[in-house]
Structure 1
Amino acid sequence: MKAGDGNALRRFSFNQATSQHWALPEVVAGCVAAGVPGIGLWREPVAEFGLARTAKLVRDAGLAVTSLCRGGFFTADGWRDENLRAIEEAATVGTSVLVLVSGGLPAGSRDVDGARDRVADAIAELTPHAAAAGVTLAIEPLHPMFCADRCVVSTLGQALDIAERFDPGVVGVVVDAYHVWWDDTVYAQIARAGARIAAFQVCDWVTPLPEGVLLGRALPGAGCIELRRLREAVDAAGYTGPVEVEVFSAEVWARPGREVLDASVAGYLHHVA
């Protein structure tokens, strides 16, 4: 199988964060040239290029926007208005999936249970707006090392405890291999999630972690995660949607964009599909 094999790549999506310094028009052109059908977008580069221009660019290219990242950060000032904008942006670029990263503990707080309750309350405020826009709020659990400052939702089970309070068409979860692979309950939680799986993202875990642990990811196949096992588990749970390759890595970002895209496709085909 090769990059141009449309059947092999029918579920593949290239998250634009994987090639951080590749301009959006070049990412889109690269995906089209490689036969890649989907792209995951981030709000900051979309805003820089222009929301309407981005929507037209991907639409004219025939690419599916598989997710928009991100909403959430419910401890930040103005979180409600910011998330309402994010929902509108997701609908405008043509995706039904808005990824939510919940945010960490409020300043000076040690109350992690209370912080998780706040996430649920915030999502409850947003659900009518998301439903009206046709957007699913996709709760992404992050590895526990990010709990204090980035995301108090640390496991897929915790994400589901919140998501299950709402309509599955409006609130779902993200299964991101980097954040969940270590959890000994993850396969049971994936089965529990079922139709609530709104997005599936893959990369690999390498050691030693760099000083900035957020950048401790690698392309599929370069680390220790059983990526195909996770993909088979989400499939068995009923998920048939896109598989996004999303990598944060200074080493990867230093490479030319088309080289990164080709390596992402190769890693997906050999270690995920």
Structure 2
Amino acid sequence: MSAADLSRCSLNSATVKHASLTELVDAAAAAGLGAVGLWRHQVQEAGAEQAARAVAGAGLRVSSLCRGGFLTAADEAGIAAALEDNRRAIVEAATVGTRELIFVVGGLPAVSAPGQGPRPDAGPGDRDLVAARARVADRIADLVPFAAEHGVRIVLEALHPMFAADRAVISTLGQALDLAEPFPAETVGVVVDTYHVWWDPQLREQIARAGREGRLASYQICDWILPLAAEPLNSRGHVGDGYVDFAAISAWVSGAGYTGDVETEIFNEEIWADEPVATARTVGERYARYVRPYL
């Protein structure tokens, strides 16, 4: 039997959270994968130029950079800080060699920190979901010219509704596309992350819409497993271990014209404890079995 084609299979660094950049790259290359997805803290530790050299030296691509975003601040200082940080993220994405900068847009200003309770001084306006989404749209408009100058695409990620308070005030692919619509498709796109959107009854139609509009910028995969962990964010599993219909979603993504990398991004304490090479091999095996036949 010939080896599976893993050229579009990407290992997101979050899947091997405790690995260094070198260990991430070595594991992906040893498993025969074609790309890696990077997180900014890792890029900053290594230096963006060095990170780019390490990935290219292993014969890999950078499929995306995570993450920009957190755009919902209502005060002038918070808005200025968000814009400054996201401009840095755009430069980092361009330097490591990816067009795709994943944006998690941020939760309500009432939240003290992701995963934490509300601020003691939070007022009614800090819980205004509609206003928070409007500020996301305003900040995207502020950042689009800078992103275009650097050849980087802002890639909006819808998160499962249980994260609306603290991480992302957009919960569906349709909402992400509505936010992207005023801007050029080459500068603002969307990501389909199976963990966050598999439940959406409009998913097929919205993936098709993303394809028609030329905004389908990334496909991230992992499974929804039960029971949920004490930290729900870490309730992701290897593809095939849970409830997501990868055959259907992958076929929809392919049918919408997506030909880019397929990035496995898992947050899971047990998987983080495994050796990076073993995890990378499992990522490749599951991609070959559950995803690639439908692309």
- TM-score normalised by length of structure 2: 0.89
Matched residue type, 2:46: F
- Give the drift of 1:118: 0.7
Unaligned residue ranges in structure 1 (runs of 5+): none
Q: Distance in 1 between matches of 2:158 and 2:144?
A: 19
Deviation at 1:33, TM superposition (A): 2.0
- Give the aligned partner of residue 120 of structure 1: 137
Deviations 1:144-188 (A, max 9, x none): 000011100110010000011110000000100000000101111
TM-score normalised per structure 1? 0.96
Matched AA of 1:198: A
- Equivalent residue for 2:100? 97
Q: Deviations along 1:232-267, whole A, 9 cap, x unmatched?
A: 101111111110011000010011111111111111
Cα distance in structure 1, aligned partners of 2:264 and 2:250: 12
Contact between 2:7 and 2:32, CA under 8 Å: does it hold in 1?
no
For these two proteins, the number of residue pairs brought into alignment is 270
Greater Cα offset, 199-208 or 262-271 = 262-271
Give matches, 1:122-141, under 5 Å.
122-141=139-158
Structure 2 counterpart of 1:32: 29
User: Partner residue of 1:156?
Assistant: 173
Residue 62 of structure 1, CA deviation: 2.0
Structure 1 position 271, deviation (Å): 1.1
Runs of 4+, deviation exceeding 4 Å: none
Cα drift, residue 34 of structure 1? 2.0
- 2:30–2:277: 8 Å Cα contact kept in structure 1? no
1:188 to 200, 205, 227: 205
For 1:1-273, list aligned pairs within 5 A: 5=4, 8-75=5-72, 77=78, 78-107=81-110, 108=122, 109-194=126-211, 195-273=214-292
Look up the match of 2:114.
none
Check whether the contact 2:100–2:152 (CA below 8 A) recurs between aligned residues: yes
Cα shift readout 1:7-37 (whole Å, capped 9, x = no counterpart): x212111111101111110111122222211
- TM superposition shift of 1:200: 0.4
For structure 2, the 5+ residue unaligned runs are 111-121
Report if the CA contact (8 A) 2:36-2:62 is conserved. Answer: yes
**AA paired with 1:236?**
G
| SS of corresponding position for 2:50 | helix
What is the rounded CA distance, in whole Å, between the counterparts of 1:224 and 1:33 in structure 2? Answer: 29
Asked if structure 1 preserves the Cα contact closer than 8 Å seen for 2:72 and 2:133, the reply is no
Distance in 2 of aligned mates of 1:36 and 1:271:
16
Letter paired with 2:26: A
Q: Which is greater in Rg?
A: 2
What SS does structure 2 have at the residue aligned with 1:259?
helix
- Identical aligned pairs, as a percentage? 50
